[in-house]
Chains A and B, each alone.
Chain A
Amino acid sequence: MRCGVVATRPGSRSCEIVDRVIKSCLASFDVDSFFLYLLDRKSGFLRRRRELAHCDGLESSATMSADEDENAAELKIGEEFLKAKCLMNCEVALILDRRLEQLQQMSDDPTNQMSQVFEKSHQYVKRFSRYKNQDAVKQVREILSRNKLAEFELCVLGNLCPETVEEAIAMVPSLKSKGRALEDDAIEKMLNDLSLIKKFE
């Protein structure tokens, strides 16, 4: 199989063919095939780029994730999550706001120094942060830290802000893992404190 870039017009024959191949990829989770979709907003065409990894591994650009047993639900996470400090969306929003201010001071054209990754991440955290105020963000971390949670668990709870104990356990099943089961009362108090911060922010 050769690699190619297929530019298609919606409704065209080549569009139908690519759609059929995409269907099988989505349905089968074929690890040797994947599709990347690039929407060319300027031209309005959907450009689909197909790369097929050879079964014998030749020029394979797809690699399995480093740890086959990785599972955040059981807190089996990679070393990078254990070594690094984990940050909540609201904390990252403050960091990126500050970073943007610094870029504006340093450079005449700050957008020149901003990568697409920065822009998209900034948009995401601004939209999905539950807490905007710096003091509120600090309080959220303090409350979550009181309950002997792993950094990863703390951030997931701070990002998703579950409203009930059942929801919190569904989002972070490791809260009830063997040997460190958090009491329901403690989880409920934690969630109530978080919602109070949101209420009075």
Chain B
Amino acid sequence: MVFLEIGMNEDIVVPFHMLDLERLPLPKVILLNLLHRISCRKASNEHGYYIAITTLHTISELHQDEDTGAILFTVSLSCTTVKPCKGEILIGTVTRILEDGIILKYGPMSNILLSETRMNDYELDMSEEPMFLNVNGLSYIKKGTKVRFKVLDIKWIEREKDFIIWATILGDYLGPI
């Protein structure tokens, strides 16, 4: 996954009771509101995982909601995100060894599935510590190992606001490092 810096617009609603200028300056209220919104959003299919706001460009003129009295702003900002791409080469860390594969994590992503069928010449060895051992005995993959893998397929799960990635280490220069 490559990190991206994207431009986006957000509509911020500031409840009337938060407009106490003696206690908290208004731009800070907007920023805290924005940070809260972005952290709650977690991810989207379009942009990937929202990591951090980098720049606030412009804040529009305020509009007031006549019913609630809340203040509305449109904020233009830049945000750092990360999104997976098919065919990409990444380095992940093993979190779990299963009978038929491995689960890896990469940054905010913890659902990266590497099936045994996509690991040439590796066999499960449960003797002491669960691991996949290369048949030539020269390398192994166990919990905590860093693995260079290729993204085979990606699924966006709307309900979880999360991606699932299927990975492979079939290819040159792929595997444990």
Contacts and interface: CB of A to CB of B under 8 A. Distances in A.
B53 to A, nearest CB: 8
A62 B47 CA distance: 17
B107 A86 contact: no
B51 A86 contact: no
Interface in B45-100: 45-54, 80-83, 85-89, 91, 95-96, 98-100
Given A70-B85, A99-B52, A117-B42, A63 B156 contact: yes
Interface string A122-134: 0011001000000
Interface residues of B, number: 69
Given A65-B153, A72-B87, A156-B88, A37 B111 contact: yes
Contact of B51 (A63, A96, A171): A96
B147 interface: no
Interface residues of A, number: 64
Contacts of A77: 85
A70 B3 contact: no
B4 A81 contact: yes
A120 B155 contact: no
B2 interface: yes
Interface string B152-176: 0111111110101010000111000
Contact of B42 (A26, A66, A115): A115
Interface of B: 2-7, 28, 31-32, 35-36, 38-40, 42-43, 45-54, 80-83, 85-89, 91, 95-96, 98-101, 103, 105-108, 110-111, 113, 115-117, 148, 151, 153-160, 162, 164, 166, 171-173
Interface of A: 19, 22-23, 26-27, 29, 31, 34, 36-37, 39, 51, 61-66, 70-74, 76-78, 80-81, 83-89, 91-92, 95-96, 99, 106-107, 113-118, 120-121, 124-125, 128, 152, 155-156, 159-160, 162, 166-167, 170-172
20 contacts: A26-B115, A51-B159, A66-B45, A77-B85, A80-B47, A80-B48, A83-B6, A85-B5, A86-B4, A91-B3, A95-B52, A99-B52, A99-B53, A113-B39, A117-B108, A121-B49, A121-B108, A124-B107, A160-B89, A170-B171
